[in-house]
């Protein structure tokens, strides 16, 4: 699928990888961007007047499902849904600064909202001649680290959800793809880790994977991790544990 002249719904398009995806795709596609920061959405509209924006917090799942229905009515045919937005909280459960309320917030933003958008946009995805659901995932879906336990769990859940959806959509026009990212240089990863790839590089690799039609595609060092996990799982787990 060439990502040109498509109707594409994207979450988290105001910063990081999402913003880089907008910059790559906005000129040649109809982009619909869902975001939680009204000021950033307004700036996005000023920079890219053709982009349609919807303001909602992905942790508010009922609102997300309602927005999905609104998008579906305005865009009866959707070619691509890119579930990109995510949050990550790093404290251990044993840390004094760990906040219990962050658990539900993280699960709903990273996983439940994906389920809500998939369901709410399903009629429009089925109306296209060929459509894709693209779930932006993480190497931490394959091997967790010690911190960010909820984030790791949501990404693992997204991986299994994506695989199950493929079974459900067999014989339909909808294909389900996943991009497994390494550490990307965004605001979320500020001050953490080394050897990050840029958000622009990640966006280009995501687009390339979608256009090639790869079901699961590993980006950057995630390719190495996948091989290491197959031949030396203990080493892979040790490598990621303290990352």
Give the CATH number, domain containing residue 68.
Answer: 3.40.50.720
Whether this model's pTM surpasses 0.85: yes
- For residue 1, tell me if it sits in a domain: no
Number of independent structural domains in the chain: 1
Instruction: Confirm whether 172 is domain-assigned.
Output: yes
Helix axes 149-168, 113-120, angle to 10 degrees: 20
Under DSSP, is residue 90 helix (H, G, I), strand (E, B) or coil?
A: coil
Task: Give, to the nearest 10 degrees, the angle between helix 199-212 and helix 16-25.
Answer: 60
pLDDT in the model for residue 190: 59
Q: What is the pairing mode between strands 131-138 and 52-55?
A: unpaired
| Distance from C-alpha of 207 to C-alpha of 29, rounded to nearest angstrom | 13
Provide the residue-wise pLDDT of the chain in tens; the chain has 243 residues.
999 999 999 999 999 999 999 999 999 999 999 999 999 999 999 999 999 999 999 999 999 999 999 999 999 999 999 999 999 999 999 999 999 999 999 999 999 999 999 999 999 999 999 999 999 999 999 999 999 999 999 999 999 999 999 999 999 999 999 999 999 987 666 556 566 799 999 999 999 999 999 999 999 999 999 999 999 999 999 989 887
Whether 214 and 197 have beta carbons less than 8 Å apart is answered as no
- Specify if 152 maps to a domain: yes
Tell me the residue range of the domain where 164 lies: 7-241
d(CA 94, CA 48): 44
Q: Does 2 fall in a domain?
A: no
pLDDT score recorded for residue 215: 95
CA distance 121 to 162: 16
Domain for residue 83, yes or no? Answer: yes
- In this structure, the strands spanning 184-185 and 174-181 are unpaired
């Amino acid at each position: 699928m060439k990502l040109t002249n498509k109707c594409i719904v994207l979450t988290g398009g105001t910063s990081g990888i999402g913003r880089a995806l907008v910059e790559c795709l906005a000129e040649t596609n109809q982009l619909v961007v869902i975001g939680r920061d009204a000021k950033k959405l307004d700036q996005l509209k000023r920079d890219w007047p053709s982009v349609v924006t919807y303001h909602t917090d992905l942790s508010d799942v009922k609102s997300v499902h309602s927005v999905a229905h609104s998008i579906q009515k305005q865009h009866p045919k959707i070619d691509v849904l890119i579930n990109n937005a995510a949050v990550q909280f790093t404290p251990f459960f044993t840390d004094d600064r760990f906040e219990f309320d962050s658990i539900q917030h993280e699960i709903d933003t990273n996983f439940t909202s994906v389920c809500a958008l998939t369901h709410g946009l399903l009629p429009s995805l089925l109306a296209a001649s060929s459509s894709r659901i693209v779930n932006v995932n993480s190497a931490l879906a394959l091997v967790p680290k010690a911190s960010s336990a909820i984030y790791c769990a949501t990404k693992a859940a997204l991986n299994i959800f994506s695989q199950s959806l493929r079974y459900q959509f067999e014989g339909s026009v909808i294909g389900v793809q996943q991009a497994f990212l390494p550490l990307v240089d965004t605001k979320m990863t500020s001050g953490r880790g080394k050897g990050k790839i840029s958000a622009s590089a990640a966006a280009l690799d995501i687009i390339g994977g979608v256009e090639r039609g790869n079901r699961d595609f590993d980006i950057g060092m995630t390719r190495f991790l996948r091989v290491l996990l197959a031949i030396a799982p203990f080493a892979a787990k040790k490598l990621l544990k303290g990352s």
